[in-house]
C-alpha cells in the first residue's frame, strides 16, 4: 500500500472484472478508498473483498450505469459510506460485433448507452461531490476504435468510443474552472474476458500477430496509466487522450 491517493475516494465502473478490476485494485493499493461498481453484484463484492483483505478500503455497489436514478443512488451511497468523491474512472462498457446492416435499434442503444451514456451520467452524478471536496479527476475509457475503426466491435462500438472522446474534451473545458480534470485513454486490444469471448482462439491469434508488439495489453498497464492521469502529478493535464496500443494505430 502507498499513500499516493490517501484520503481520496474513487469510483470505478465495470470494476468486477478485466480492466476495471485492475484499476480498482491499483487505486486501492495506492491508498484510495474505492467504490467497486458493476452491473453484477457478485464480482463487485469479490473485488471489494480482495481489496479489503489486502489492507485497503472498498465497498461493492451493484449498479446499472445506464440508469440515471441508479447512478445518482450509487454516487449518494459512495459519499455516505466513503466520503466525497475525488476520482471517477468510467470503464463500464460492452462489445458487440454485429455488422452495421444487421444492427437493430435496441442493440444500437444498448451499445451506445453502455459505452457512452453511462460515462456522461456518472460524470454528471459525481461532479457536485468533486466540487465540494475540492478535487476532481475523471478518466474515461475510450478506444483506438474512436480514432479509427474497431477491430473486434461493430459500428455502434466505434461510434460510442468516438463519442467518449468528444465527451472528454467538452467536459474538460466546461469543468476546468472547478479544477476537475477530464482525460481519456484509448487502448488497443486488451487481454480481458470480454475480448477473449469475442473471437475463437484462431481469430484472436491472427489479431495478436497483427499488432507490432505481438501481444495484447495487460490490464495492469492500463491501470498504471490511469493512476497517473488521476493523480497530483497530472493536475495540469486535461482534455487529453493517451493512446496505449502497442503500436497498432499511430497517428501524429
Handedness of CA 142, 130, 124, 62 (dihedral sign): positive
Report whether 58 contacts 47 (CB < 8 A).
Answer: yes
In sequence order, what are the residues at sequence separation of 6 or more whose Cβ sits closer than 8 angstroms to the Cβ of residue 75?
11, 85, 122, 125, 126, 129
In whole angstroms, give the CA distance from residue 31 to residue 188. 28
Burial category of 52 from C-beta neighbours within 10 Å (exposed 0-12, middle 13-18, buried 19 and up): middle
Is 157 known to be catalytic?
yes
Strand locations in 40-108 (E): 57-62, 85-90
Catalytic residue among 5, 135, 157, 175: 157
Cell of 27: 487505486
Residues with catalytic roles: 157
Amino acid at each position: 500500500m502507498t499513500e499516493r491517493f490517501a484520503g481520496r475516494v474513487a469510483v470505478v465502473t465495470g470494476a468486477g472484472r478485466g480492466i476495471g478490476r485492475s484499476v480498482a485494485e491499483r487505486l486501492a493499493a495506492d491508498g484510495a478508498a474505492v467504490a467497486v461498481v458493476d452491473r453484477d453484484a457478485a464480482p463487485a463484492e469479490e473485488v471489494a473483498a480482495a481489496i479489503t483483505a489486502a489492507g485497503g478500503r472498498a465497498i461493492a455497489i451493484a449498479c446499472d450505469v445506464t440508469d440515471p436514478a441508479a447512478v445518482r443512488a450509487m454516487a449518494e451511497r459512495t459519499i455516505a459510506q466513503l466520503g466525497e468523491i475525488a476520482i471517477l474512472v468510467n470503464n463500464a462498457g460492452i462489445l458487440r460485433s454485429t455488422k452495421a446492416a444487421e444492427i437493430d435499434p435496441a442493440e444500437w442503444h444498448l451499445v451506445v448507452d453502455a459505452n457512452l451514456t453511462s460515462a456522461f451520467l456518472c460524470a454528471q452524478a459525481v461532479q457536485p461531490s468533486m466540487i465540494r471536496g475540492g478535487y476532481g479527476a475523471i478518466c474515461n475509457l475510450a478506444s483506438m476504435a474512436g480514432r479509427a475503426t474497431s477491430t473486434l466491435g461493430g459500428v455502434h462500438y466505434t461510434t460510442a468510443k468516438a463519442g467518449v472522446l468528444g465527451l472528454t474534451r467538452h467536459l474538460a473545458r466546461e469543468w476546468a474552472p472547478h479544477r476537475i480534470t477530464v482525460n481519456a485513454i484509448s487502448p488497443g486490444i486488451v487481454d480481458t474476458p470480454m475480448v477473449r469471448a469475442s473471437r475463437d482462439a484462431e481469430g484472436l491469434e491472427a489479431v495478436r500477430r497483427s499488432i507490432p508488439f505481438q501481444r495484447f495489453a495487460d490490464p495492469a498497464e492500463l491501470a498504471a496509466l490511469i493512476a497517473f492521469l488521476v493523480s497530483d502529478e497530472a493536475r495540469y493535464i486535461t482534455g487529453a487522450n493517451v493512446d496505449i496500443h502497442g503500436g497498432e494505430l499511430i497517428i501524429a
